[in-house]
Amino acid sequence: MKIDSVDFFYLSMPIVTTAGDGSQDALVVRVSAGGHAGWGECEAAPLPSIAAFVCPMSHGACRPVSASVLGEKLDGPDDIKRMAATLAFNSMDLLQAPHTWSGIEMALWDLLGHVRGEPSWKLLGHAKAYPKTPYASVLFGTTAQQTLERARDIRAKGFRAAKFGWAPYGDSLEGDIAQVAAAREGLGADGILLIDAGQIFADDVEAASKRLASLNANKVTWLEEPFGGFSYEAYGKLAARSGAVKLAGGEAAHNRYMAEHLIDYGHVGFIQIDCGRIGGLGPAKQVADYAVKKGVTYVNHTFTSNLALSASLQPYAGMKDSWICEYPTQLSSLATELTTTRIAPNAKGEIEIPDAPGLGVEINAKTLKTYAVDVEIKVKGKTIFAPPMV
The reply to whether 344 falls in a domain is: no
User: For the chain, what is the HEC assignment?
Assistant: CEEEEEEEEEEECCCCCCCCCCCCEEEEEEEEECCEEEEEEECCCHHHHHHHHHCCCCECCECCHHHHCCCCECCCHHHHHHHHHHHHHHCCCCCCHHHHHHHHHHHHHHHHHHHHCCEHHHHCCCCCCCCEEEEEEEECCCCHHHHHHHHHHHHHCCCCEEEEECCCCCCCHHHHHHHHHHHHHHHCCCCEEEEECCCCCCCCHHHHHCCHHHHHHCCEEEEECCCCCCCHHHHHHHHCCCCCCEEEECCCCCCHHHHHHHHHCCCCCEEEECHHHHCCHHHHHHHHHHHHHHCCEEEECCCCCHHHHHHHHHHHCCCCCCCEEEEECCCCHHHHHCECCCCCCCCCCCECCCCCCECCCCECHHHHHHCECCCCEEECCEEEECCCCC
CB 62 within 8 A of CB 56: no
Q: Closest Cα to residue 82, out of 72, 71, 92?
A: 72
For residue 233, the enclosing domain spans 123-337
Residue 329: C-alpha distances to residues 92, 229, 251 (Å) = 36, 24, 18
Q: Are residues 141 and 154 in the same domain?
A: yes
Q: Are residues 84 and 148 in the same domain?
A: no
Domain end residue (candidates: 320, 337, 354): 337
The reply to whether 350 falls in a domain is: no
Distance CA 120, CA 106 (A): 9
The reply to whether 238 falls in a domain is: yes
Q: How confident is the model at residue 29 (pLDDT cuts 50, 70, 90)?
A: very high
The reply to whether 345 falls in a domain is: no
Q: Are residues 127 and 191 in the same domain?
A: yes
Phi, psi of 97 (to 5 degrees): -55, -45
Q: Are residues 114 and 128 in the same domain?
A: no
Q: Are residues 269 and 151 in the same domain?
A: yes
Q: Which residues contact 14 (CB under 8 A, 6 or more apart)?
A: none
Q: Are residues 143 and 112 in the same domain?
A: no
Average pLDDT, the chain: 97
Q: What is the pLDDT of residue 17?
A: 93
The reply to whether 352 falls in a domain is: no
Residues 340-357: tens digit of each pLDDT:
999 999 999 999 999 999
Residues 143-153: tens digit of each pLDDT:
999 999 999 99
β-pairing, 133-139 vs 161-165, is: parallel
Count of CA atoms in the C-beta half-sphere (13 A) of 59? 3
Q: What is the pLDDT of residue 56?
A: 98
Residues 275-296: tens digit of each pLDDT:
999 999 999 999 999 999 999 9
Can you tell me the mean pLDDT for 34-59?
Answer: 97
Sheet arrangement for strand 36-42: 3-12, 25-33, 36-42
Distance CA 193, CA 222 (A): 8
Cα dihedral 31/69/355/288 (nearest 10): -140
Query: How crowded is residue 243: how many other Cβ atoms within 10 Å of its Cβ?
Result: 10
Q: Are residues 134 and 277 in the same domain?
A: yes
Distance CA 390, CA 377 (A): 19
Q: Closest Cα to residue 101, out of 135, 64, 74?
A: 64
The reply to whether 358 falls in a domain is: no
Q: Which residues contact 53 (CB under 8 A, 6 or more apart)?
A: 6, 8, 64, 65, 66, 100, 385
Q: Are residues 89 and 127 in the same domain?
A: no
Q: How confident is the model at residue 21 (pLDDT cuts 50, 70, 90)?
A: confident
Query: How crowded is residue 207: how many other Cβ atoms within 10 Å of its Cβ?
Result: 16
Distance CA 116, CA 178 (A): 52
Q: Are residues 257 and 370 in the same domain?
A: no
**Is the pLDDT reported for residue 169 higher than 90?**
yes
User: How many domains would you assign to the chain?
Assistant: 2
The reply to whether 302 falls in a domain is: yes
Can you tell me the mean pLDDT for 198-209?
Answer: 97
Q: Are residues 154 and 286 in the same domain?
A: yes
CATH of the domain at 28: 3.30.390.10
Q: Closest Cα to residue 199, out of 226, 220, 178?
A: 226
Q: How confident is the model at residue 330 (pLDDT cuts 50, 70, 90)?
A: confident
**Is the pLDDT reported for residue 19 higher than 90?**
no
Residues 235-261: tens digit of each pLDDT:
999 999 999 999 999 999 999 999 999
The reply to whether 176 falls in a domain is: yes
Q: Are residues 156 and 257 in the same domain?
A: yes
Domain end residue (candidates: 300, 320, 337): 337
Residues 47-95: tens digit of each pLDDT:
999 999 999 999 999 999 999 999 999 999 999 999 999 999 999 999 9
Q: Are residues 106 and 147 in the same domain?
A: no
CATH of the domain at 245: 3.20.20.120
Distance CA 215, CA 56 (A): 50
Q: Residues of the chain with pLDDT > 70: what percent? A: 100
CB 207 within 8 A of CB 200: no
